[in-house]
Structure 1
């Protein structure tokens, strides 16, 4: 009996560690099971929050989560792959968007045409029976090319075509042209959707490019050669596009001349070397004169400083009698003669 009692007490202690699933609140919480949202309007216990913040928030979160799980278990359930799944209702809480909702995707040229004509897209079968090969072949994708090679193992040469021409290569070229055309159509749809202008250096068809844009595209294509378009043939009455290329350096010239000319390369290089070697050094006379004046002024200042030092030494050695012997200028009688330094400054001015 003692052993049984001890086991029961141990189980009871373990059960006491876990809280009950029934949670009581002063105010009922607001639940949105479809959004799996639980809003608790009850006030927080400030004293408990200050004294034991982490445990208090942990217990509060546990209680609200338990209420939400209890509401989910009340919903109708079903078993899917040995799992019990609850059917959530439609959410009632409206969440704001960070950005505006995206608008409708613009239709392509073919989609507009199909909508006007009432053409509907039909789903293609993955495989089609080929009467030539007498078997089912894929309509598109994997092993489609192999089936075409087996069916078109020989091609007829028309009468108006050179008998030595390669019809297989022509078929490959025709397919690549179709791929390029589809790519151009795709780029045109992107430009039309973004409401942008046609690139000035590209040609997207006569319906998309104006005459000036075509002229610009032709000029750019000609100037992209190694000779910068110097040896490219021109059509009769052909004009040059304006505002393309290097800025004009010569007044009156429409475009900058090419680096290629009719002069042989040897003579052009010799002229360049002569122009570099025959250059004479240029002397700035005004700068040289100003430097010479500055040097002369510095020398005079040094001499005057040395003479002033000698005079001050003589006066100190003469005593009081020498100071009395010096004549003082009388007031309002004449002016002192300007010093040598001041007179030199007036002359320079």
Structure 2
């Protein structure tokens, strides 16, 4: 059996290389120091990137760069004071130095409900209760609320009838109805709290609480009540002499997803033609009607101006010679003789004497 010859120098050199490889995994050399923001766990590398290495071996280069920067960040975290909590090493991060923009605004504090406002005024503090309670009937620990809760009265087979209640009334159905009313009341209070927080007017049940309801409001409330069923009022019985409700609102119409491809192609081509055309599309009928109205308006204005001119000439009257006025001191040249004057121009007296 041949003996294996081992060179001690080679073994030592291999051990040194292994040790150097281990040390290389935690030590990273950079030309420029990397900036750290440990509050954000952020490392900013400002060193120059070799474009040739990035172009030739892109994946390896990016993976190596990310690994080195992550190692530097972890080294900085190990420099922080640490403590052990439940077999886990925990460090407290310092304050953040980099201001990062928020995607959304800072959430507003949740508004107080009506009960929380009352409890704050009265100084009532909420006491934390355990989820389990002892049930004397079942002799075991049960939940306080929900399924299989303590003192569950829904499982009772016998209910005592109160002295002031109707002996023929079903107490089981009465209890179920009371529970439904409590649930509805809680839901209404929850919606009112939301509306109060949003500063929205809280209407009454079905109608807005005003002094007098209009006919339209009453009809709208009746329509809402009739259609608030699982079948949208299709099987709801009507009252005697009740008029059918009018359909309010618009019914949305959608094109079928699978249909005639030629019509869809025509619509798209028409849309492209309209978008591609430089000159706007003209409605010939509308343009002709507009021109005809303009022509009629101009003709009416010209006719009115002509009538106004004729009327002005009639109001001015005939010339002065036609009105019987002659030359000064002479006889009138025409027209009727003036009243109260003789032919010779002398005035007559009341008795007819000159």
Distance apart, 1:225 and its partner CA: 7.2
Q: 1:231 and 2:245 equivalent?
A: no
| Count of residues paired in the alignment | 235
Q: Deviations over 1:261-283 (max 9, x none)?
A: xxxxxxxxxxxxxxxxxxxxxxx
Equivalence for 2:94? 89
Change (3 A) 1:49 1:140: closer
Could you tell me which of 198, 205, 221 is aligned with 1:203?
A: 205
Q: Deviations over 1:37-91 (max 9, x none)?
A: 1112233344554555554444433332222122112122334555544333333
- SS, match of residue 172 in structure 1: helix
Q: 1:141 and 2:143 equivalent?
A: no
Equivalence for 2:246? 245
Change (3 A) 1:230 1:110: same
Equivalence for 1:113? 118
CA distance in 1, matches of 2:207, 2:128: 31
- SS, match of residue 38 in structure 1: strand
Change (3 A) 1:90 1:220: closer
Q: 1:178 and 2:221 equivalent?
A: no
- SS, match of residue 78 in structure 1: strand
Please tell me whether the aligned partners of residues 43 and 69 of structure 2 are also in contact (alpha carbons under 8 angstroms): yes
Please tell me whether the aligned partners of residues 188 and 204 of structure 1 are also in contact (alpha carbons under 8 angstroms): no
User: TM-score of the superposition, structure 1-length normalised?
Assistant: 0.52
Say which is worse superposed, 87-96 or 47-56, in terms of deviation: 47-56
- SS, match of residue 102 in structure 1: coil
Please tell me whether the aligned partners of residues 133 and 150 of structure 2 are also in contact (alpha carbons under 8 angstroms): no
Change (3 A) 1:172 1:203: same
Distance apart, 1:31 and its partner CA: 0.9
Change (3 A) 1:209 1:145: farther
Q: 1:5 and 2:9 equivalent?
A: yes
Equivalence for 2:191? 187
Please tell me whether the aligned partners of residues 203 and 217 of structure 1 are also in contact (alpha carbons under 8 angstroms): no
**How much is the aligned-residue C-alpha RMSD, in angstroms?**
4.2
CA distance in 2, matches of 1:130, 1:139: 10
Please tell me whether the aligned partners of residues 41 and 73 of structure 2 are also in contact (alpha carbons under 8 angstroms): yes
Say which is worse superposed, 96-105 or 59-68, in terms of deviation: 59-68
Name structure 1 gaps, 5 residues minimum.
Answer: 234-239, 248-349
- SS, match of residue 36 in structure 2: strand
Please tell me whether the aligned partners of residues 203 and 209 of structure 1 are also in contact (alpha carbons under 8 angstroms): no
Please tell me whether the aligned partners of residues 32 and 47 of structure 2 are also in contact (alpha carbons under 8 angstroms): yes
User: TM-score of the superposition, structure 2-length normalised?
Assistant: 0.51
